[in-house]
C-alpha cells in the first residue's frame, strides 16, 4: 500500500536513495522505491521499510514480513546491517539513526519537488479541523495535499509529506508534538512558509512538565524563515509566543466573521458579502474555521472561493460529529483535553433541546500533575450544567464523580472502570429523544458505545 505517496517521483533505487539519508546501501537493486512505510503491514510493491525501534515493538522483527508484502529495501541501524542481510534478500540501508534517516529523506523529498506553498498548523486542540477547513478552501484554487488523518508526529509527518506531488499548489500539514525538541525536528522537515498556532492548553504535560514549556515549544513553528504567522486571539501565553517567534503574528477570533448559531446544524457564516453554512458544532470549532479563512485570505483566495469551498463543510469523524436519529449522538471521541471538554460541555449545556441531555465522559489522558485538578474542574462544570445524567468512566474520572457529589449535583451519576459495565449503564438509561455526548481521550476508544446506542435508537424508529 502506498497510502497516496509520491516518493516514486524521485525515480530512485535504494543505492541512490541511501546518500540522501546519510546511509550505506548493501545489495544493489534496480527496483524503484515508490513509498516509505514504518509498519510492515502497510508495505507493498516498491516500499522502503524503516525498521524503527519502539517501546513495544522492534521493526527489525518485521523485516521478513515487509519483504513478503513487496518491500524492496529496508533501513536499519548500521550495526545491524549484516544481521538484516542474513534475514532478507532486499537491499539493506544502514544508518546511524533510523528515525533521523526518515526525516532526512522527507526533507530531501520536499527539496526535490518544492514549488507548493506549505502551511504548518499546530496547537493543543483544533489542528485537524483547521487543517481540513484550510485544505478544503485551497483545494478550490488548485491541487492541495494535506495530512492524511492524524499523521502529524515525528513519525507521521515524514509519511505525510510524501503525499505531496510535484503538481500540488498547496500543502497543509499538522505538526503535533508531545515532548521538548520535537517541533524543531518537524520544522526542519517541512519548513513551512506559513504557520498557524490554534491555542495552548493543558495537554501532554507528562513530558512537557508545564503549560509554559508547551507554549515555548509550540511557538517554534514560527521558525526564522517563516513568511507569515497566525494565532488565535484567545491563545494563552500569547505575549510569550510572539516574543519567541520574534515577529508580530496575525491574530484571529470567531468574531472576525458574522455567524448565526444553528445549533447542531452548525453555523451560518457571512464573509465579505458571501454566505455559507459549516456543520461544525460549538464556538471552538467555529474559531478553527475562522483561522482557516484568515490564512486563505492572506494567500489571496477570494471571498467567493472561500464561501463556495466551505459550504457544507464538516469536521472529520470523532470531532463533534452529529449522528442524528431517535437518539442524537454527539461523537467527540477523537481526543479530549481540558479545553476541548470544557468547550463542548459548555456549548451543549446552553443548547436548547426538547429531550434530556446526557453525557458519557472518559478520562483526559497525559495531563501529568494537572490531571486531578482538571478532572475536578469537569465535575464542577457538570454540576452547573443542563445535563441530567453523567456516565463517568475510568480511574481519572473518579475525581469528577467526587466533585459532583460534593456540589450536590441533582442529576444521575454513574462511575465505573469496567467498559462492559459502562455500556450496560448507558444503554439502560437512554431514551428516545435524548441528546448524548461521548467524550474521552482517543486511547479509551469510547466510540465503541456508538453501535449499541444507534441500535437502541433504531428500535424506537
The structural architecture, per CATH, of the domain 321-460 is Alpha-Beta Complex (3.90)
Mean residue pLDDT of the chain comes to: 93
Q: What is the pLDDT of residues 158-171, one digit of tens each?
A: 999 999 999 999 99
The yes-or-no verdict on residue 132 having pLDDT over 60 is yes
151/131 Cα distance (integer angstroms): 12
Measured CA to CA in angstroms, residue 336 lies from 284, 314, 445 at distances of 13, 19, 11
Q: List the grid coordinates of 176.
A: 503535533
- Per-residue pLDDT band for 3 (boundaries 50, 70, 90) equals low
Better pLDDT: 223 or 456: 223
The crossing angle, in degrees rounded to 10, of helices 182-190 and 98-113 is 30
Do residues 446 and 440 lie in contact, with contact meaning Cβ atoms separated by under 8 Å?
yes
CATH number for the domain formed by residue range(s) 7-96:
3.40.1390.10
Distance CA 141, CA 163 (A): 18
**Residue count of the chain:** 461
For residue 350, name the pLDDT band (cuts at 50, 70, 90): very high
- Enter the DSSP assignment of 232: E
Chain centre to alpha carbon of residue 333? 12
pLDDT at 205: 59
What local confidence, expressed as pLDDT, does residue 1 receive? 41
Per-residue pLDDT of 271-308, as tens digits, reads 999 999 999 999 989 999 999 999 999 999 999 999 99
3-state percent helix, strand, coil for the chain, nearest multiple of 5: 45, 20, 35
Residue pair 105/50 in contact (Cβ under 8 Å)? The answer is: no
The domain covering 114-310 belongs, at the CATH homologous superfamily level, to Mur-like, catalytic domain (3.40.1190.10)
- Residue 263 confidence (pLDDT): 94
Strand order of the β-sheet with 258-261 is 258-261, 267-271, 274-278
* Burial (0-12, 13-18, 19+ Cβ within 10 Å), 422: buried
Q: By percentage, how much of the chain surpasses pLDDT 70?
A: 97
pLDDT band at 459 (very low <50, low <70, confident <90, very high): low
Any bridge partners for residue 49, and if so which?
A: 37, 74
Rounded to an integer, the average pLDDT of 262-274 is 96
Which pLDDT does position 352 carry in this prediction?
Answer: 93
Q: From the centroid of its chain, how far is CA 185?
A: 18
Q: Output the pLDDT for position 26.
A: 95
At residue 270 the predicted structure's pLDDT band, cuts being 50, 70 and 90, is very high
Q: How far apart are CA 255 and CA 387, in angstroms?
A: 28
Q: Which residues pair with 195 in a beta bridge?
A: 120, 229
pLDDT in tens, 365-397: 878 888 899 999 999 999 999 999 999 999 999
Per-domain boundaries in the chain: 7-96, 114-310, 321-460
pLDDT category at 336 given cuts 50, 70, 90 is: confident
- Within 10 angstroms of residue 227's Cβ, the number of other Cβ atoms is 11
Give the CA angle between residues 192, 174, 342 to the nearest 5°. 135
| C-alpha cell belonging to residue 356 | 434530556
Task: Tell me what pLDDT residue 2 has.
Answer: 46
Following DSSP, what letter does each residue of 133-160 receive, concatenated?
HHHHHHHTTS-EEE--TT--STTHHHHH
As a whole number of angstroms, the distance between CA 84 and CA 77 comes to 9
Q: Residue 159 and residue 109: Cα distance in Å, rounded?
A: 11
Percent of the chain with pLDDT over 90: 81
In tens, the pLDDT along 76-131 reads 999 999 999 999 999 999 999 999 999 999 999 999 988 899 999 999 889 999 99
Contacting residues for 443 by C-beta, under 8 A, at least 6 apart: 365
Pairwise pLDDT comparison (452 vs 149), residue with the higher score: 452
Question: Does 175 have pLDDT greater than 60?
Answer: yes
Cα–Cα distance between 17 and 32 in angstroms, integer? 10
Cα 274 to Cα 135, 209, 261, 298: the distances in Å are 19, 45, 17, 17
Amino acid at each position: 500500500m502506498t497510502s497516496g505517496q509520491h516518493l516514486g517521483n524521485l525515480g530512485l533505487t535504494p543505492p541512490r536513495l541511501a546518500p540522501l539519508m546519510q546511509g550505506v546501501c548493501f545489495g544493489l537493486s534496480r527496483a524503484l522505491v515508490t513509498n516509505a512505510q514504518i509498519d510492515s503491514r502497510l508495505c507493498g510493491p516498491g516500499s522502503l521499510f524503516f525498521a524503527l525501534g519502539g517501546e513495544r515493538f522492534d521493526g527489525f522483527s518485521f523485516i521478513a514480513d515487509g519483504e513478503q508484502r513487496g518491500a524492496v529495501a529496508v533501513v536499519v541501524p548500521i550495526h545491524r546491517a549484516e544481521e538484516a542481510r542474513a534475514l532478507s534478500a532486499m537491499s539493506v540501508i544502514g544508518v546511524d539513526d533510523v528515525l533521523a534517516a526518515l526525516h532526512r529523506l522527507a526533507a530531501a523529498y520536499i527539496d526535490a519537488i518544492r514549488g507548493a506553498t506549505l502551511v504548518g498548523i499546530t496547537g493543543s486542540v483544533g489542528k485537524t479541523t483547521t487543517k481540513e477547513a484550510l485544505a478544503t478552501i485551497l483545494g478550490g484554487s488548485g491541487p492541495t495535499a494535506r495530512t492524511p488523518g492524524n499523521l502529524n508526529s515525528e513519525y507521521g509527518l515524514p509519511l505525510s509529506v510524501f503525499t505531496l506531488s510535484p503538481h500540488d499548489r498547496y500543502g497543509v500539514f499538522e505538526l503535533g508534538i508531545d515532548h521538548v525538541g520535537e517541533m524543531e525536528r518537524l520544522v526542519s522537515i517541512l519548513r513551512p512558509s506559513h504557520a498557524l498556532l490554534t491555542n495552548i492548553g493543558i495537554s501532554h504535560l507528562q513530558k512537557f512538565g508545564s503549560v509554559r514549556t508547551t507554549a515555548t515549544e509550540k511557538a517554534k513553528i514560527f521558525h526564522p524563515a517563516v513568511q507569515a504567522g497566525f494565532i488565535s486571539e484567545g491563545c494563552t501565553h500569547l505575549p510569550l509566543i510572539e516574543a519567541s517567534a520574534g515577529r508580530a503574528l496575525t491574530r484571529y477570533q470567531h468574531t472576525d466573521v458574522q455567524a448565526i448559531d444553528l445549533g447542531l446544524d452548525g453555523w451560518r457564516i457571512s464573509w465579505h458579502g458571501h454566505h455559507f453554512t459549516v456543520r461544525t458544532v460549538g464556538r471552538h470549532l467555529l474559531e478553527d474555521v475562522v483561522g482557516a479563512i484568515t490564512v486563505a485570505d492572506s494567500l489571496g483566495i477570494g471571498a467567493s472561493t472561500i464561501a463556495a469551498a466551505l459550504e457544507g463543510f464538516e469536521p472529520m469523524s470523532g470531532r463533534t460529529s452529529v449522528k442524528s436519529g431517535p437518539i442524537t449522538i454527539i461523537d467527540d471521541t477523537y481526543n479530549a483535553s481540558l479545553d476541548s471538554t470544557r468547550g463542548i460541555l459548555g456549548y451543549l449545556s446552553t443548547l436548547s433541546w426538547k429531550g434530556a441531555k446526557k453525557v458519557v465522559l472518559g478520562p483526559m489522558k497525559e495531563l501529568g500533575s494537572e490531571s486531578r485538578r482538571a478532572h475536578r474542574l469537569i465535575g464542577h462544570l457538570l454540576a452547573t450544567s443542563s445535563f441530567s445524567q453523567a456516565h463517568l468512566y475510568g480511574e481519572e474520572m473518579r475525581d469528577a464523580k467526587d466533585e459532583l457529589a460534593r456540589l450536590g449535583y441533582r442529576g444521575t451519576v454513574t462511575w465505573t472502570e469496567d467498559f462492559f459495565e459502562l455500556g450496560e449503564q448507558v444503554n439502560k438509561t437512554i431514551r428516545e429523544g435524548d441528546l448524548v455526548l461521548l467524550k474521552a481521550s482517543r486511547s479509551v476508544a469510547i466510540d465503541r458505545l456508538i453501535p449499541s446506542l444507534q441500535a437502541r435508537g433504531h428500535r424506537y424508529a
